[in-house]
Amino acid sequence: MTSSFSNLSLAEPLARAVAEMGYESMTPIQAQAIPVVLTGQDVMGAAQTGTGKTAAFSLPLLQRLLQHENASTSPARHPVRALVLLPTRELADQVAQQIALYAKYTKLRSAVVFGGMDMKPQTLELKKGVEVLVATPGRLLDHIEAKNTVLNQVEYVVLDEADRMLDIGFLPDLQRILSHLPKQRTTLLFSATFSPEIKRLASSYLQDPITIEVARPNQTASTVEQRFYAATDEDKRRVIHQVLKTRGIKQAFIFVNSKLGCGRLARSLEREGLKTTALHGDKSQDERIKALDAFKQGEVDLLVCTDVAARGLDIKDVPAVFNFDVPFNAEDYVHRIGRTGRAGASGLAVTLVSGSDTRLVADIEKLLKTKLNIETLALDEPPRTERPASRYAEARPEGRSERYERPERFDRAARSPVQRGGFRPAMPSRDPFFDRPYEAPAAGAIAQWDSAPPNPAARGTPSGNIKPRRKLAALFKPTEPTVAPA
């Protein structure tokens, strides 16, 4: 099979758009999927992000929709004919942008709807009529309920990143959406893995699908150099600085497991002189788009992000990805490092492994079926003493431990989120005092804190940091020593 686009007999407007994108030859998923989709058959595709799967489904889909192309201003002449469903807003936005580029020389209209944005502009666009609608499930249901769009003329439906949609808990929403579509249609399902749940979904909604697998599920791209460095929490930022410097890397993604950790790490790196921005689910849509744009424009060196925020983001040529935290789910490791070494370019993925990550690293080894070599990087700068020793020590809300922080597992737009991975297990103590075996005190010994007599006078003059409060004062009032009953 030749992999040149010219062998596809794409319509001139599509061929022109592809040429303009600078694509020289088809990627493996495109070479396999495009001819099948052109025949109108259902497809179940296993393909990682970065393999070119957006073009693999959208080019043949647009080609088949060209028969409906018209310049009429009447909305009735532009019913939704293709529906593309994705798990997150960023991914929906990105796929919609790519589709708009492929369709730019046609009269086919496309639009995107996702949560976190005002519904009004989306409604106006839907009411004008669009042939290709890209959407996240929750927001699409809102529009269906508000009767802003009718899906009874849909000929194609694409379930992209289907595994993640199920992870997030979108199955009920997907079932409701699919119930609004005509039975006679082409369904394309793309997923990074073919789990039993995905196979069940496919058997319910796809008809005799052609299975296309371009890479073994859970396989990492061979163009990515994977490094694992042992680092204490205190040293992780230093490792990042050193790798960036020694490798001459200008831009990188840094993955963390929690939203709180994301903002905090971004602030620390910014203070250390790196232009950094944070991307996580608590950022408004506007902030997220701005952060992405700034990174794309090269105005920002580092994008610190959580898995949900970064899922499937297509930012080309990211030279490196750092896993500041080892991901809770081994599959996320594959997705994270898929941000680098995309479309044939080489990339570097550095994972920082602390003492408590042994089980998580073992999970990655199991998934990749490889023994990972955890190296020690000789750090050439003295430890920074001006900053708090640990990121956990920084500005943590009282009584709250980041170690127990809920990881960001799902898009906030999700209606019935499913938590996977649970809470981070407690990390072993780093204080040698607590690591020492228990030694019984010698008979008659007085505990250190009991040996000094209470000093009521000292309590009258608290340090400047302690505000005297009546209740506390009452609690600490000197009392008579308790005499044990005989």
For ligand AMP, the closer of residues 265 and 303 by Cβ is 303
How does DSSP classify residue 4?
A: B
For ligand AMP, the closer of residues 84 and 171 by Cβ is 84
Nearest to 156 by CA among 124, 178, 174, 139: 178
For ligand AMP, the closer of residues 22 and 464 by Cβ is 22
Q: Which residue is it, tokens 């994705």? A: 86
Could you write out the DSSP letters of every residue in 271-290?
HTT--EEEE-TTS-HHHHHH
Q: Nearest approach, Cβ of 56 to ligand AMP (angstroms)?
A: 7
Q: Nearest approach, Cβ of 332 to ligand AMP (angstroms)?
A: 17
Q: Nearest approach, Cβ of 10 to ligand AMP (angstroms)?
A: 12
Q: Nearest approach, Cβ of 165 to ligand AMP (angstroms)?
A: 16
For ligand AMP, the closer of residues 31 and 113 by Cβ is 31
Nearest to 220 by CA among 48, 33, 353, 372: 48
Cβ–Cβ < 8 Å for 119, 146: yes
Q: Nearest approach, Cβ of 258 to ligand AMP (angstroms)?
A: 26
For ligand AMP, the closer of residues 42 and 160 by Cβ is 160
For ligand AMP, the closer of residues 93 and 173 by Cβ is 93
Report the run of H or E that residue 230 belongs to, with start and end. strand 224-230
For ligand AMP, the closer of residues 269 and 313 by Cβ is 313
Q: Which residue is it, tokens 């620390």? A: 268
For ligand AMP, the closer of residues 24 and 118 by Cβ is 24
Q: Nearest approach, Cβ of 189 to ligand AMP (angstroms)?
A: 15
For ligand AMP, the closer of residues 271 and 316 by Cβ is 316
Quote the tokens at residue 219.
């396989």
For ligand AMP, the closer of residues 99 and 126 by Cβ is 99
Could you write out the DSSP letters of every residue in 58-100?
HHHHHHHHGGG------GGGS---EEEE-SSHHHHHHHHHHHH
Could you write out the DSSP letters of every residue in 291-319?
HHHHHHTTS-SEEEE-HHHHTT---TTB-
Q: Which residues contact 237 (CB under 8 A, 6 or more apart)?
A: 265, 268, 269, 272, 391
Q: Nearest approach, Cβ of 113 to ligand AMP (angstroms)?
A: 20
- φ, ψ dihedrals at 181, nearest 5°: -95, 155
Could you write out the DSSP letters of every residue in 107-154?
S--EEEE-TTS-HHHHHHHHHH--SEEEE-HHHHHHHHHTTS---TT-
Give dist(CA 271, CA 48) in Å, integer: 35
Q: Nearest approach, Cβ of 27 to ligand AMP (angstroms)?
A: 5
Give dist(CA 152, CA 23) in Å, integer: 35
Q: Nearest approach, Cβ of 50 to ligand AMP (angstroms)?
A: 5
Sheet holding 347-353, edge to edge: 276-279, 302-305, 252-255, 320-323, 347-353, 224-230, 374-376
Q: Nearest approach, Cβ of 23 to ligand AMP (angstroms)?
A: 4
Q: Tell me what percent of the chain is helix, strand and coil, each rounded to the nearest 5.
A: 40, 15, 45
Q: Nearest approach, Cβ of 421 to ligand AMP (angstroms)?
A: 25
For ligand AMP, the closer of residues 86 and 278 by Cβ is 86
Q: Nearest approach, Cβ of 132 to ligand AMP (angstroms)?
A: 15
Give dist(CA 189, CA 166) in Å, integer: 12
Give dist(CA 162, CA 36) in Å, integer: 19
Q: Which residues form the interface with ligand AMP (CB under 6 A)?
A: 23, 26-27, 30, 49-55, 314, 316, 342-343
For ligand AMP, the closer of residues 53 and 143 by Cβ is 53
10 Å CB burial of residue 132 (0-12, 13-18, 19+) is: buried
Cβ–Cβ < 8 Å for 333, 299: no
